[in-house]
Amino acid sequence: MTPRPTAVLFDLDGTIVDSAPGILSTLAYTYEHLRMPVPPVEELMKWIGPPILESFRDFAGLDEDESRYALAIYRERYREVGVFEASAYPGVPEAIRVIQRAGLPISLATSKPESAAHAILDRIRLSDAFTEITGASEDETRSDKADVVAEALRRLAARGVDVRTRPLMIGDRVHDVEGAAEHLVPTIFVGWGYGAPEEAEGAVAVVETAGELLAALGL
Residue 73 sits in a domain whose CATH number is: 1.10.150.240
Under the banding of pLDDT at 50, 70 and 90, the label for residue 96 is very high
User: 131 with 102: CB under 8 angstroms?
Assistant: no
- What pLDDT digit, counting tens, does each position of 178-211 carry? 999 999 999 999 999 999 999 999 999 999 999 9
- Which domain CATH number covers 113? 3.40.50.1000
Residues 177 and 72 in one domain: no
Residues 108 and 212 in one domain: yes
Which of these three, 47, 66, 85, is where a domain ends? 85
Residues 75 and 97 in one domain: no
Per-residue pLDDT at 49: 80
Residues 102 and 137 in one domain: yes
User: 107 with 133: CB under 8 angstroms?
Assistant: yes
Residues 126 and 175 in one domain: yes
Structural domain harbouring 100: 7-18+86-216
Angle CA 40–176–111, to nearest 5:
70
Whether 159 maps to a domain, the answer reads yes
Q: What is the pTM of this model?
A: 0.90
Under the banding of pLDDT at 50, 70 and 90, the label for residue 2 is low
Residues 137 and 187 in one domain: yes
Whether 1 maps to a domain, the answer reads no
Query: How many domains is the chain built from?
Result: 2
Residues 79 and 156 in one domain: no
| Coil, helix or strand at residue 38 | coil
Mean pLDDT in the chain?
Answer: 95
- What pLDDT digit, counting tens, does each position of 36-72 carry? 999 999 999 999 888 888 899 999 999 999 999 999 9
Per-residue pLDDT at 109: 97
**Residues ≥6 apart with Cβ < 8 Å to 117:** 12, 108, 110, 133, 135
C-alpha 67, offset from chain centre: 21
Under the banding of pLDDT at 50, 70 and 90, the label for residue 10 is very high
Instruction: Please determine, for residue 138, whether its predicted confidence score (pLDDT) is greater than 90.
Output: no
Per-residue pLDDT at 50: 83
Which of these three, 49, 68, 85, is where a domain ends? 85
Whether 24 maps to a domain, the answer reads yes
Instruction: Please determine, for residue 124, whether its predicted confidence score (pLDDT) is greater than 70.
Output: yes
Under the banding of pLDDT at 50, 70 and 90, the label for residue 1 is low
Residues 38 and 95 in one domain: no
